[in-house]
Structure 1
Amino acid sequence: MLDTLLSGLKFINQLLTAGIAITAFSLLLYALTFNLRDRVARSFALILMCVVIVFVGDAISSIVDSHQMLQLWLQFEWIGIAFLPACYFQFSEALLATTGRPSYGSQRWAIWLMYVISSGFLATLPFMLLVGPLVPDVFPAPHLQRTWLTWVFAIYFLAVMSWSWFNFWRAYQRTVTPTSRRRMRYLINGALAPVLGSYPFLLFGSSLATNHPLLFWLVAVLNNIFVVFLIIIMAYSVAFFGVSWPDRVVKRRLFKWLMRGPVTASSVLAITTLVRRVGESFGFEYSAAVPIVMVGSLLLFEYAITLAAPLWERWSFQGGDKSNLLLVQNLNERLLTTGDLRQFLESVLAAICDRIQAPNAFIIALNAGDLELMVNIGDTPPIHEMSDGLNHVATQNGNGNGLFIWDNFWLVPLHSQRTNEEVLGILGIARKPESILEDDQKEAVLFLAERAATALEDHVQQQEIISSIETLSPQIDMIQRLRAASRYGDTNVLTAPEIPLESPDVVRWVKDALTHYWGGPRLTDSPLMGLNVVRKTLEEHQDNPANALRAILRQAVDQVRPEGERRFTGEWILYNILEMKFMEGKKVREIATRLAMSEADLYRKQRVAIDAVATAILEMEQKVRADKKLR
């Protein structure tokens, strides 16, 4: 009975050990993927690397049969154990710096010294100095012998960990908000996990474990369960460092990562191993059920996670903004894109053509006086051939609600459903000479035209919303970055006169400002107004920020210009696009024709040109900031 119980506990411990290795590796990938730029996250990634090394070695050593391989994998664990104190101290210093206490030269030297000491301990491992040879046939588990250097390392390990925990406490004392203090408590408690799980305490308690094997395996199982929980808690706390996402986004992403990664992988491993062990107990060395169970359990777990996703999504949206957040989250599924609009309008045209047996039809949208062919069925004259006539007809007959005749077409103005005065577009249906629509046909056409007008109006409103979001995005991004930077007490960033600029933001701001170069909110409300280089030129432009920014944009565009007289050749493409599109306000089709390129190629070149302007502005800003520091 005791042997069965011990075997069961040993089996559970093996699964937990593998699960910890999987969890630590998954969280390591998470840190490397989402917040590697942050110093705290990088230090935490080093700790996770040590944990992965320790538990991979532990998991493999529990299943190998050869004494030589067993000793090799037990020694492999010491790579992670040796560097764990240095990684912990680096992590504690990074945490302290995040709360507003910068690291000085002495702390940085101390970190490097600890890595050197850890490397020195590790260098003695092949010579059986750090730990001795394998003790293979010992109950309850084989282990390496301790040496005099093992005691020295244990003292070093304890001293560095104590110093690190003192830094944790100092960092906790420096946090001020309830949320940051709560997460700091989570982090400090979670930091116990790598220590409890990684250090080979069996080196110092082998006699106790031999005399009480049941107690040993019970403690080992409970300790590993505790370690899994604490590692996740620690990762949760660190996940908020180095990212500007709102807290709800961090929680949602981490939870999804855990469920689809370590939870699924560990569960599938446990089920598969259990099936294999059961098969072996019945005399089957290999069971065909193993791969079937593996694939089936994997699919079932993914299916269950997909079904449960809406529940944890709603859980992460807590508070009074829950309804608004859910609405924004579902916007992606409800948004009427241009492709969706064209598909719907094609269906409308198909229904009209079927109803009155028309050979062709079209729908044209009116956008600030310009005509844009949205969809057509059959042969339709080119839009530029119809533009003058249609504009005239729309002007003369746009207030009407019925059909009217123009050339060989019936035309129906598509009115806004809100004002019933604004004309959003025109529906055109080919007609034969002297053909007359029946009343039911006319009624059907007008009904379908109303549906098309509703779709056009919804699309216009959505585009207005998207434009508003694009205008607000720079300010929102800045606020989120400031909020994230001050999470753990470093409130100095809120009063910093200069906000660090990131290239993607600058490119977007430059594009917005160029779009409204001759006036508009994207220029007058641009975050680029806060640049030193713009403020420096205010006096030259009568303290008019818009004119100052316009001058800087002009200067940056001129830096893209090649030397010599302006030409329409390959080396002048970027400058010509900027000049014609933003300075002269020409239309895309006209520019593409003048530069002899497709519209798709024009848009690609335009992105390159805007990147060049943003780079030029950044260089000017960096120069101004450097001059300020010299003064």
Structure 2
Amino acid sequence: MLSVLITLNQILVAGVAITAFALLLYALAFNLRDRVARSFALILVAVVIIYTAEALASVAAQPAQQELWLRAQWVGIILLPACYLHFSDALLETTGKPSRGRRRFFVRLAYVASLIFLLLLPTPWFIGPLVRNGLPAPHLKPTPLTDFFTFCYALAMGISGYNLVRAFRRSTTSTGRRRMFYLLVGSIAPALGSFPYLLFGSALAARHVGLFWVFSVLNTFLVGGLVVVMAYAVAFFGVGWPDRTVKSRLLKWILRGPVTASLTLAAVTIVRRAGEQFGNPYSTLVPIIMVATILLSEYLITLFFPLLEQWLFDGKDKNDLELLRRLETRLLTRNDLRQFLEALLAAICDRLQVPGAYVAALDPQGLELLVQVGQTNLENNPTEASLNQVLAQNGSLSGRFRWGQDMLVPLLDEDEAGNPQLLGFLGICKAGDMEMDSEQEQALETLTARMALALQDYRLQREVFESLRTLTTQTEFIQRLRAVGRYHQNTVLQNIPPEPADLTQWVREALSHYWGGPKLTQSPLLRLSVVQRAIEAYDGNVSNALRAVLKEAIERVRPEGERRFTAEWVLYNILELKFVQGKKVREVAARLAMSEADLYRKQKVAIEAVARALLEMEEQNQRQSQIS
């Protein structure tokens, strides 16, 4: 029975190490910018060290290897109290209780003490040599300094627990209090996880070996679950995603990572231990069981996770979310449209026996050639300039007409009043004088109707995308406000600086409509406090206010001295010529003596420089507002 308990504990210890490492990778990938998440990542590092070293020490064959891994285990145990104090301080700061210096001092003192204990770890003063035949398991002999560390460990954990209780009491929203409760309960895990190893060498553990291993198995199992609970609560810090997205990503990561790995390890360990009873611990069943467990786990996750996600996370929003998922899978992208139109054009060429055909779609800038197959008269005319004249010359939409040697067929749609709307043209090469029989007429009519339907759907989807782009910037801001307001209600009154990538995109769009347009008057930049102040100065004129702020940001990019057309002035010259003066790309490229491709590359850098200048202006304005 004792052997079964030890084996089960070894499996659970390895499972906790895998789980902690997987959750550490998750924290490093998604929300490491938040102080709470960073301090929690340090706790996970300590837990990974403790349980990985314990798992390796339990299977080490040589005494020297066993002692090495047991000393490495103490690295995590020593680091854990300081990491916990750091985590509790960050959590209290999140709830609106920043340190006035005392908590930060104790955190730094804890890290200094941990460093001193780590320096003493290789010496026999902190912890003694290996007791290989000791009960309840091989362990390093404790010393008086070990007992002193145990006292410091308990003291630091007690202070951390007190800080966590304070953070729980300071949470105002129901969601925030629930997440803080999860943290409060989950935070017991690492403290419990290292406690059994502090008992090694004690008389109590030596007298009750069986009871110790029962407690150790239950403790390890509990630690694995509580670490996940703690990671679940921390996963919401520093991210602006909806709750369902955070839950879904974390659950999928846990299932595909630690659950799959732990099941595989458990299956292999059981098969190998069973093989030892028959004198063949590394039988051919070991790799077979390993591969089968991994594949079966991934198959079941792929098969059932969508149903599990809908059941756990969608709730009352199930219909809306299902509609969005169907939109994603059935979306007609530009490449999908081209492939569909190519198939239709190939069918027309085959039915009418013509050398080529093409489709031009109508957009706000004119006619754009979407796709062509076979031999067309557009091969030497890549700008389709002559094709853009077709709309003006044949605006009556009176059926097919001749264009050179080609036949053009209008692709039409009807508006709400039943009036025809032009979507584009189908061009059939060398068919201007063609007389078609009834079968060809019917085939052409069917294929053009399908082309018109595809263009109509594509136009509707583009309108949806434009609406989504506008909506995305607003919802991202709301989600970020909601994320920071979970635990401290006053944060919803603060101006949250935008992400650099978002700010660069907003600046690019606003500059494209610098002298007027919806991307200027409806820009998310209007939410910036520096722009709000400018709006007051310009008597509520949004366009002039944002234009003035952008102009000031552009001027910050300007080098000192008299304006020149040299390398150091190239960014400012691009901004001033392209956006302020409104010159065309070809004119700007010629003025600056560079290719258009090089101009576009430099323009990207220039817009990023304007975004950085605008962010500096926003931070400066917020500091001035706080002072006043």
User: Is TM > 0.5 for Structure 1 vs Structure 2?
Assistant: yes
Task: Give the whole-Å Cα distance in 2 for the aligned partners of 1:621 and 1:461.
Answer: 37
- What residue in structure 2 maps to residue 253 of structure 1? 249
| 2:6 is equivalent to residue 7 of structure 1 | no
| 2:371 is equivalent to residue 375 of structure 1 | yes
Change (3 A) 1:468 1:507: same
The Cα shift of 1:23 comes to 0.8
Change (3 A) 1:540 1:199: closer
- What residue in structure 1 maps to residue 424 of structure 2? 425
Change (3 A) 1:251 1:599: farther
Task: Give the whole-Å Cα distance in 2 for the aligned partners of 1:62 and 1:468.
Answer: 59
Deviations 1:25-78 (A, max 9, x none): 111111111111111111111111111111111111101122222222212111
- What residue in structure 1 maps to residue 542 of structure 2? 545
Q: Which amino acid aligns with 2:489?
A: T
- What residue in structure 1 maps to residue 26 of structure 2? 30
| 2:466 is equivalent to residue 470 of structure 1 | no
Task: Give the whole-Å Cα distance in 1 for the aligned partners of 2:104 and 2:40.
Answer: 17
Change (3 A) 1:553 1:414: same
The Cα shift of 1:210 comes to 4.1
**RMSD (Å) for aligned C-alpha atoms:** 2.7
- What residue in structure 1 maps to residue 505 of structure 2? 508
Q: Which amino acid aligns with 1:386?
A: S
Alignment of 1:217-296 (within 5 A): 217-296=213-292
The Cα shift of 1:519 comes to 2.6
Fraction of identical pairs, as percent: 52
The Cα shift of 1:129 comes to 2.5
The Cα shift of 1:604 comes to 4.2
Task: Give the whole-Å Cα distance in 2 for the aligned partners of 1:149 and 1:461.
Answer: 74
Change (3 A) 1:596 1:304: farther
| 3-state SS, counterpart of residue 423 of structure 1 | strand
Deviations 1:314-362 (A, max 9, x none): 1344332221122223433222111111111111111111111111111
Change (3 A) 1:455 1:571: farther
- What residue in structure 2 maps to residue 458 of structure 1? 457
Deviations 1:397-450 (A, max 9, x none): x2x3x4332321221111124455221111111234642011221221122111
The Cα shift of 1:189 comes to 1.0
- What residue in structure 1 maps to residue 482 of structure 2? 483
Q: Which amino acid aligns with 1:331?
A: L
The Cα shift of 1:13 comes to 1.0
Alignment of 1:522-561 (within 5 A): 522-538=519-535, 541-558=538-555, 560=557
- What residue in structure 2 maps to residue 348 of structure 1? 344
- What residue in structure 1 maps to residue 112 of structure 2? 116
| 3-state SS, counterpart of residue 244 of structure 1 | coil
| 3-state SS, counterpart of residue 335 of structure 1 | coil
The Cα shift of 1:580 comes to 6.5
- What residue in structure 1 maps to residue 387 of structure 2? 387
Task: Give the whole-Å Cα distance in 2 for the aligned partners of 1:182 and 1:607.
Answer: 45
CA contact (8 A) 1:417 1:453 kept: no
Moved more, 461-470 or 16-25: 461-470
| 2:445 is equivalent to residue 449 of structure 1 | no
Deviations 1:277-326 (A, max 9, x none): 33333222532332333233222222222112212331344332221122
Deviations 1:211-255 (A, max 9, x none): 443333222211111111111111111111111111111101111
The Cα shift of 1:89 comes to 1.3
Where in structure 2 are there 5+ consecutive unaligned residues?
none
Q: Which amino acid aligns with 2:195?
A: Y
CA contact (8 A) 2:366 2:388 kept: no
The Cα shift of 1:615 comes to 2.0
Equivalent of 1:493 in 491, 495, 498: 491
Task: Give the whole-Å Cα distance in 2 for the aligned partners of 1:441 and 1:171.
Answer: 77
Task: Give the whole-Å Cα distance in 1 for the aligned partners of 2:473 and 2:276.
Answer: 62
Task: Give the whole-Å Cα distance in 2 for the aligned partners of 1:516 and 1:467.
Answer: 16
- What residue in structure 2 maps to residue 55 of structure 1? 51
CA contact (8 A) 2:404 2:432 kept: no
Task: Give the whole-Å Cα distance in 2 for the aligned partners of 1:575 and 1:354.
Answer: 55
Change (3 A) 1:149 1:507: same
CA contact (8 A) 1:361 1:380 kept: no
Where in structure 1 are there 5+ consecutive unaligned residues?
none
The Cα shift of 1:581 comes to 5.6
Q: Which amino acid aligns with 2:88?
A: S
The Cα shift of 1:138 comes to 2.9
- What residue in structure 1 maps to residue 14 of structure 2? 18
| 3-state SS, counterpart of residue 314 of structure 2 | coil
Task: Give the whole-Å Cα distance in 1 for the aligned partners of 2:59 and 2:274.
Answer: 17
Task: Give the whole-Å Cα distance in 1 for the aligned partners of 2:608 and 2:94.
Answer: 32
CA contact (8 A) 1:75 1:125 kept: yes
| 3-state SS, counterpart of residue 405 of structure 1 | strand
Task: Give the whole-Å Cα distance in 1 for the aligned partners of 2:367 and 2:458.
Answer: 16
CA contact (8 A) 1:362 1:380 kept: no
Moved more, 30-39 or 600-609: 600-609
Task: Give the whole-Å Cα distance in 1 for the aligned partners of 2:350 and 2:100.
Answer: 79
| 3-state SS, counterpart of residue 460 of structure 2 | helix
Task: Give the whole-Å Cα distance in 2 for the aligned partners of 1:6 and 1:599.
Answer: 77
- What residue in structure 2 maps to residue 147 of structure 1? 143
Change (3 A) 1:336 1:609: farther
CA contact (8 A) 2:142 2:201 kept: no
CA contact (8 A) 1:362 1:428 kept: yes
- What residue in structure 2 maps to residue 363 of structure 1? 359
Deviations 1:84-115 (A, max 9, x none): 11111111111111111111111111111112
